[in-house]
Amino acid sequence: MKGRDNMFTKVNGMALYYESFGQGKPIILIHGNGEDHTTMMSLASSLVASYAIYLPDSRNHGQSTKADHLSYSDMADDIAGFIQTLNLEKPLIIGSSDGAIIALLVAIKHPGLCSGIISAGANRFPSELKAWFRIMARIGLWGSRGDPNLALMLNEPNLTDELLSKITEPVLVMAGQRDVISENCTRALAAAIPNAALCILKGETHSSYINHGERLTAAAKPFIDGLWQDE
C-alpha cells in the first residue's frame, strides 16, 4: 500500500507498534483478542482512499510490548495516549470484538477525544458470549496455563448501562447476524448508549465483515460521512 509507514510509539510504559497510510481525517482501527493490526487490513484498504488510517497493535499483541496482566481499561488508556502522542485530531475509532470494547471505553473514560465510535461485535459482559465460545476459551486458558488474552476475555468487560450512558460521541453499534454475541445483547448495548445507531449485518459472523472490510464500510458509510459532513 503506497505511503505506508510502520513505527513504534511509547504510551503508558508500553511500546505500541503501528502502521499508518493515507491522507485525510484520521481513523484508528483496533483489532480483536489474540490478533494484530493485519486483521484490520481489509477494512483499512476499503477506507484508505479517503482517510488517514492508523493500525496499532494492542499491548501484548503483535509487535507491541508484552504484558502479564491485561485490562480493557488500560488498553483504552493506551489508545487515548496514542491519539495524544500522535496529535490526532478527533479521530473516528473503529474497533472489532475486543477492539470495540476498547473503543467504547475510550469514549467513556476520555470524552471528547474522538469524533465517533464504530463498535463491531462488542459484548458488555463475559456472560454475553455464547456458551460454546466461553467453553472453548476456558479450555484454551487451561491449555495455555493462564494466557492473559484469554483470561481477559473470560473476566471482562463490565460495561454497565450507567457507564454506557456517559458516552457523548456518536456511536454505531454493529454485529453480524451469526455473531458469537446474541442479537438481543447487541440491541441492549445500543439501547444503553444515548442516540446510538444499530446495524445488524445479515448473514455475517463475528469476523466475516471485518475480513471482508468493504462490507463494513458499505454499511457504515452514512454514519462515517455524517461525522464530518459540516467540515
User: How much is the pLDDT for 107?
Assistant: 98
With 80 as the cut, is the pLDDT of residue 231 above it?
no
- Site of grid cell 446510538: 196
pLDDT classification of 1: cutoffs 50, 70, 90:
low
User: How much is the pLDDT for 140?
Assistant: 87
Report the DSSP beta bridge partners of residue 171. 117
Tell me if 174 sits within 8 A of 219, measured CB to CB: yes
Q: What is the mean pLDDT of residues 99-125?
A: 97
Residues 6+ apart with CB under 8 A from 146: none
Distance between CA atoms of 208 and 216, rounded to whole angstroms? 9
At 114-160, the pLDDT tens digits run: 999 999 999 999 999 999 888 888 888 888 777 899 999 999 999 99
Look at residues 225, 174, 229, 218 and name the one whose alpha carbon lies nearest to residue 196.
174
With 70 as the cut, is the pLDDT of residue 178 above it?
yes
Neighbours of 154 (CB within 10 A): 14
pTM metric for this prediction: 0.95
Domain ranges, ordered by start, for the chain: 5-224
User: How much is the pLDDT for 6?
Assistant: 74
Look at residues 167, 171, 160 and name the one whose alpha carbon lies nearest to residue 94.
171
With 80 as the cut, is the pLDDT of residue 216 above it?
yes
User: How much is the pLDDT for 142?
Assistant: 84
- Identify the CATH homologous superfamily for domain 5-224: Alpha/Beta hydrolase fold, catalytic domain (3.40.50.1820)
At 4-45, the pLDDT tens digits run: 667 999 999 999 999 999 999 999 999 999 999 999 999 999
At 49-81, the pLDDT tens digits run: 999 999 999 999 999 999 878 999 999 999 999
